[in-house]
């Protein structure tokens, strides 16, 4: 388990993106989830859920579980999917207890992000994104954690660049994965139709 939380100053905010938190968590089957080691404003109860004043990317790289966002019904989440959360949203999620669970997360804010939301690059209509098990995305999360722990001058600007890289990669992978699924679905449909019309 690795994580880092930041106090954001006014100079950092002027850059347009600030990173509030970054981390990685791994849980063994039947291990208590979530951990209580996070700051009070980020503590989480899987039953009561929580509301954060930030955007978050939560990337599941092992296991599967359940997610509820505001008034929506429970949805299944699984490895290779990324959850996008918005400031002020109530949400709750939990892994299936009988299997391993790994998650990366990064929390962020800023005027640049709000502009991306305004232009529909991030939307509440698409909060579970299929990016697959992506080595490049995992590398970006690991790099963000590494930079966070070094705690050097300019780390916020470095981390904000990683967030933008992540977003571009997430949009690219999720859109192309979706197109591949549509193409595969059409291909399967053609095969089924051919089976129906071909004489036996």
Whole-number Å distance between alpha carbons of 78 and 67: 10
| pLDDT score, position 36 | 66
| Architecture of the CATH domain 2-197 | Sandwich (2.60)
Which pLDDT belongs to residue 193?
Answer: 40
- pLDDT value of position 29: 86
φ, ψ for residue 197, nearest 5 deg: -85, -15
Q: Which residues of the chain have pLDDT under 50?
A: 179-180, 182-200
What pLDDT, on a 0 to 100 scale, did the predictor assign at position 35?
Answer: 67
Q: Which residues contact 49 (CB under 8 A, 6 or more apart)?
A: 68, 90, 91, 92
Alpha carbon 118 to chain centroid, angstroms: 19
Q: What are the residue ranges spanned by the domains of the chain?
A: 2-197
Question: pTM of the predicted model, to two decimals?
Answer: 0.84
The model's pLDDT over 116-146, given as tens digits with 9 standing for 90+, comes to 999 999 999 889 999 989 999 999 999 999 9
pLDDT score recorded for residue 80: 93
The H or E element spanning position 161 is: helix 155-197
User: End-to-end distance of the chain based on CA atoms, in angstroms?
Assistant: 59
pLDDT at res. 83: 96
pLDDT of residue 183: 45
């Amino acid at each position: 388990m690795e994580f880092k939380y930041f106090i954001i100053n006014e100079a950092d905010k002027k850059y347009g993106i600030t990173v509030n938190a970054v981390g990685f968590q791994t849980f063994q089957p039947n291990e208590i989830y979530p951990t209580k080691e996070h700051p009070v404003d980020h503590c989480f109860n899987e039953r009561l859920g929580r509301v954060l004043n930030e955007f978050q990317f939560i990337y599941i790289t092992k296991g599967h579980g359940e997610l509820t966002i505001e008034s929506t019904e429970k949805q299944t989440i699984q490895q290779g999917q990324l959850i996008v959360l918005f400031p002020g949203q109530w949400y709750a999620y939990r892994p299936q207890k009988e299997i391993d669970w790994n998650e990366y997360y990064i929390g962020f804010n800023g005027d640049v992000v709000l502009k991306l939301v305004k232009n529909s690059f991030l939307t509440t209509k698409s909060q579970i994104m299929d990016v697959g098990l992506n080595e490049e995305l995992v590398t970006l999360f690991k790099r963000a954690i590494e930079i966070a722990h070094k705690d050097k001058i300019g780390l916020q600007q470095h981390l904000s660049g990683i967030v933008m890289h992540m977003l571009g990669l997430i949009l690219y992978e999720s859109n192309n994965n979706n197109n591949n699924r549509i193409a595969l679905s059409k291909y399967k449909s053609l095969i089924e139709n051919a089976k129906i019309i071909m004489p036996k």
